[in-house]
């Protein structure tokens, strides 16, 4: 690539870099990516990619015993004029272009889905209203595939809202043409019993911008795998996440940004609050800077706020760098407690205990919520955070 | 007139699986407009007194009474005590990440005053109070105590004292860790609050240095978990000259 040769030497690397040879991105998966579920052994729970996940609560998604039922999920798409909304068969060429399944459940979803949804925003179309996809669980089991494609220089916001009760395994592909701008907000507002395992694949075109906002509140087990690759130089990806993990919930977010192309940027910020017995949040942040990806600028951060005893966080940032000719690369992970001393301090200023807790959690999330850039979503998230606090404080 | 009355207060703390009595019968009355200095050597229990009055959960009151204008303070939760008019300026204020100073101050003032202060007058009030304490306006946007220097933490405590206007202010070693300039600024803040005559002040300190700026009406020597001697400002001069030796050794014979 011509661009790669024009990079000035002596670029600096900022931030902390850890390269853990025994747990690199490449070696942590127990099988190479594949569309075929048969290429993946049934996980037993000790594999690197499954070791945090309660397999027994996946309702058979991982071992082939989960079978699609007629009333799995109901999907309603609301799209502004100019957008094409289609339901297509498995042979549609746009399916699977953004990336292959990387674990057994994603491959199971790919092997089992019957019809896929495809949403297309034509080139140079700039939407002023969001595309809304409502995924409502009706108590059954479903395997799904969704494609969102933006033509060159198109701009769109997509809001995917998950509610109700379901066992859902899905793959979602985002294809961004050159110079396209896509913001996707995926809200997991499931009922308590839902199980949701999904892989999100974004393929970011030349000079395109992809922003993913993942918001997880509900469900029994939610395990999401947002992944980004760049189709050409100059792409940007922002991956924001916000989760509020309550008693008994397992919420797992596994990110991969694969810098396979020069001069691309990525910024990952995930924040979670936990409260209650057996609340378990897992965050895996993998960033890979391949040898060809000179001029990469990347940062990833995970912050957790533990509000009560009995909650557990596993946070594993992982940065793998194969070239030194980059602009910057850094990662950070921190888990803090809202402790008795902070509570005492705020109460000693007249603030009641529940109000004190709200103050801290609101402050913790506020900065991230403000970066979403979709007004009605921001307002709704703040409301939702309040509701989560009301419910349990 | 606001009066804090402490009678025969006994307090224990759990440490290393043992119960240890720290306060062994404290008697003290602080009235509105008065300033009392509690002075004592390290480990005498003077900070325990301050935190017990504020209701820190680490301390267990085993006997005695504390009343504020006749109301039983020991029956109140920590926030109720603050709303009743008790204020504790802490020696080691904790960081509260994610909560800005401005948000914190307003939430606190709303709780203590029983209604949200009017925005326009509030902004002015905070701005003026910060200026008097030589605090940069950018301070308001920082997170509570996060990355504050020792002096900034203490100024922030006194800022709260000025804004919350308590009936009784307990200042726990507010002078510790301050250089002379910071000590002067902080002391001036405390004096501004005292001068309006509406606060009773309990100044807990190890050193006499702060008493050059803040003149106490009463000085109490604290040793072995109780007040062992009380007097006027001259007692501080005596402590300055002689130290705590005679109290620590337990003899009044020296």
List pLDDT tens digits, range B33-81. Answer: 999 999 999 889 999 999 999 999 999 999 999 999 999 999 999 999 9
**Cβ contact A347–B77 (<8 Å):** yes
User: Average pLDDT in the A204-233 region?
Assistant: 97
- Sorting pLDDT into bands at 50, 70 and 90, what band is B199? very high
Dist CA A348 CA B168 (whole Å): 13
DSSP conformation class of A272: E
**Which of A350, A359, A360 comes nearest B82 by C-beta?**
A350
Q: Is A305's Cβ below 8 Å from some Cβ in B? A: yes
- Sorting pLDDT into bands at 50, 70 and 90, what band is A392? low
Residue of B nearest to A339 (CA): B96
Q: Is B47's Cβ below 8 Å from some Cβ in A? A: no
Dist CA A227 CA A239 (whole Å): 9
Q: What is the mean pLDDT of chain A?
A: 90
Query: In 3D, which of A171, A179, A182, A127 has the Cα closest to residue A149?
Result: A182
ipTM of the complex, rounded to two decimals? 0.95
**Which of A344, A355, A365 comes nearest B78 by C-beta?**
A344
Q: Is B77's Cβ below 8 Å from some Cβ in A? A: yes
pLDDT value of residue A372: 83
Please list every residue in chain A whose beta carbon sits closer than 8 Å to the beta carbon of residue B112: 349-350
**Cβ contact B82–A348 (<8 Å):** yes
**Cβ contact A348–B93 (<8 Å):** no
User: Average pLDDT in the A152-177 region?
Assistant: 97
**Which of B57, B94, B99 comes nearest A363 by C-beta?**
B99
- Sorting pLDDT into bands at 50, 70 and 90, what band is A58? very high
**Cβ contact B143–A363 (<8 Å):** yes
Give the tens place of pLDDT for each residue, B110-146.
Answer: 999 999 999 999 999 999 999 999 999 999 999 999 9
- Sorting pLDDT into bands at 50, 70 and 90, what band is A3? very low
H/E segment holding residue A321: strand A312-321
**Cβ contact A344–B57 (<8 Å):** yes
Q: A212, A181 in Cβ contact below 8 A? A: no
- Output the CA–CA distances (angstroms, integers) from residue B239 to A35, A44, A189, B222, in the order listed: 82, 72, 65, 12
From the number of C-beta atoms within 10 Å of its C-beta (0-12, 13-18, 19+), residue B192 rates as middle
Q: Is A342's Cβ below 8 Å from some Cβ in B? A: yes
SS (H, E, C) chain B: CCEEEEEEEEEEEEECCEEEEEEEEEEEEEECCCEEEEECCCCCCHHHHHHHHHCCCCEEEEEEEEEECCEEHHHCCHHHHHHHCEEEECCCCCCEEEEEHHHHHHHHHHHHHCCCCCHHHHHHHHHHHHHHCCCCHHHHHCEECCCCCHHHHHHHHHHHHHHHCCCEEEEECCCCCCCHHHHHHHHHHHHHHHHCCCCEEEEEECCCHHHHCCCCCEEEEEECCEEEEEECHHHHHHHHHHCCHHHHCCCCCC
User: B157 vs chain A: nearest CA distance in angstroms?
Assistant: 10
Q: A148, A122 in Cβ contact below 8 A? A: no
pLDDT value of residue A13: 29
φ/ψ (deg, to 5) at A131: -90, 130
- Sorting pLDDT into bands at 50, 70 and 90, what band is A15? very low
The size of the A-B interface in CB pairs under 8 A is: 80
**Cβ contact B83–A350 (<8 Å):** yes
Q: Is B90's Cβ below 8 Å from some Cβ in A? A: yes
**Cβ contact A360–B164 (<8 Å):** no
Please list every residue in chain B whose beta carbon sits closer than 8 Å to the beta carbon of residue A365: 98
Please list every residue in chain B whose beta carbon sits closer than 8 Å to the beta carbon of residue A355: 107, 111
- Output the CA–CA distances (angstroms, integers) from residue B35 to A366, A381, B119, in the order listed: 42, 49, 33
Which residues 162-191 on chain B approach chain A with CB closer than 8 angstroms? 164
Q: Is A363's Cβ below 8 Å from some Cβ in B? A: yes
- Sorting pLDDT into bands at 50, 70 and 90, what band is A28? low
A260: left (phi over 0), alpha (psi -120 to 50) or beta: alpha
């Amino acid at each position: 690539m011509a661009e790669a040769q024009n990079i000035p030497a002596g670029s600096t690397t900022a931030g902390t870099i850890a390269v853990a040879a025994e747990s690199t991105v490449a070696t942590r998966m127990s099988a190479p990516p594949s569309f075929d579920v048969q290429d993946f052994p049934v996980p037993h729970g000790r594999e690197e990619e499954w070791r945090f996940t309660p397999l027994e609560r996946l309702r058979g998604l991982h071992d082939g015993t989960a079978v699609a039922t007629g009333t799995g999920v109901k999907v309603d798409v609301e799209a502004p004029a100019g957008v094409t909304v289609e339901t297509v068969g498995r042979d549609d060429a746009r399916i699977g272009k953004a990336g292959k399944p990387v674990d057994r459940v994603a491959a199971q979803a790919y092997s089992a889905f019957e019809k896929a949804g495809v949403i297309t925003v034509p080139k140079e179309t700039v939407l002023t209203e969001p595309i809304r996809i409502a995924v409502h669980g009706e108590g059954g089991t479903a395997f799904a595939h969704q494609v969102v494609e933006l033509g060159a220089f198109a701009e769109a916001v997509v809001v995917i809202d998950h509610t109700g009760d379901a066992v859902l395994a899905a793959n979602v592909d985002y294809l961004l043409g050159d110079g396209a701008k896509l913001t996707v907000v995926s809200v997991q507002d499931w009922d308590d019993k839902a199980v949701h395992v999904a892989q999100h694949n974004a393929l970011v075109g030349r000079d395109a911008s992809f922003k993913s906002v993942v918001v997880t509140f509900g469900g029994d087990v939610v395990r999401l795998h947002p992944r980004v690759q760049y189709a050409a130089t100059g792409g940007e990806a922002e991956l924001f996440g916000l989760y509020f993990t309550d008693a008994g919930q397992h919420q797992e977010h596994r990110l991969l940004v694969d810098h396979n192309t020069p001069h691309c940027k990525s910024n990952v910020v995930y924040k979670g609050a936990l409260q209650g017995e057996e609340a378990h949040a897992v965050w895996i942040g993998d960033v890979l800077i391949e040898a060809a990806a000179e001029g990469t600028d990347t940062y990833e951060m995970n912050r957790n706020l533990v509000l009560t005893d009995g909650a557990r966080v596993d946070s594993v940032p992982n940065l793998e760098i194969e070239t030194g000719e980059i602009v910057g690369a850094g990662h950070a992970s921190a888990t803090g407690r809202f402790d008795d001393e902070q509570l005492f301090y705020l109460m000693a200023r007249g603030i009641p205990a529940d109000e004190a807790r709200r103050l801290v959690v609101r402050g913790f999330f506020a900065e991230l919520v403000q970066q979403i850039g979709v007004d009605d979503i921001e307002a709704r998230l703040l409301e939702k955070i309040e509701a989560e606090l009301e419910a349990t404080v | 007139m606001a009066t804090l009355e402490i009678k025969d207060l006994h307090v224990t703390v759990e440490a290393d699986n043992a119960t240890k009595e720290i306060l062994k019968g404290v008697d003290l009355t602080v009235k509105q407009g008065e300033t009392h200095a509690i002075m004592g050597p390290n480990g005498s229990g003077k900070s325990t007194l301050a935190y017990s009055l504020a209701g820190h959960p680490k301390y267990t009151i085993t006997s005695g009474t504390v009343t504020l204008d006749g109301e039983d303070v020991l029956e109140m939760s920590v926030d109720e005590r603050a709303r009743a008019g008790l204020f504790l300026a802490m020696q080691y204020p904790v960081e509260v990440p994610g909560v800005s100073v401005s948000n914190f101050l307003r939430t606190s003032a709303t709780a203590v005053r029983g209604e949200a202060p009017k925005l326009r007058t509030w902004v002015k009030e905070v701005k003026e109070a910060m200026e008097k304490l030589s605090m940069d306006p950018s301070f308001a946007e920082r997170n509570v105590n996060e990355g504050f220097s020792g002096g900034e933490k203490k100024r922030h405590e006194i800022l709260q004292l000025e804004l919350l206007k308590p009936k009784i202010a307990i200042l726990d070693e507010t002078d510790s860790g301050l250089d002379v300039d910071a000590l002067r600024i902080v002391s001036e803040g405390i004096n501004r609050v005292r001068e309006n005559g509406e606060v009773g002040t309990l100044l807990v300190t190890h050193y006499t240095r702060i008493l050059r700026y803040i003149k106490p009406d009463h000085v109490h020597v604290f040793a072995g978990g109780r007040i062992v001697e009380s007097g006027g400002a001259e007692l501080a001069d005596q402590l300055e000259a002689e130290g705590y030796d005679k109290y620590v050794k337990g003899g009044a014979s020296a």
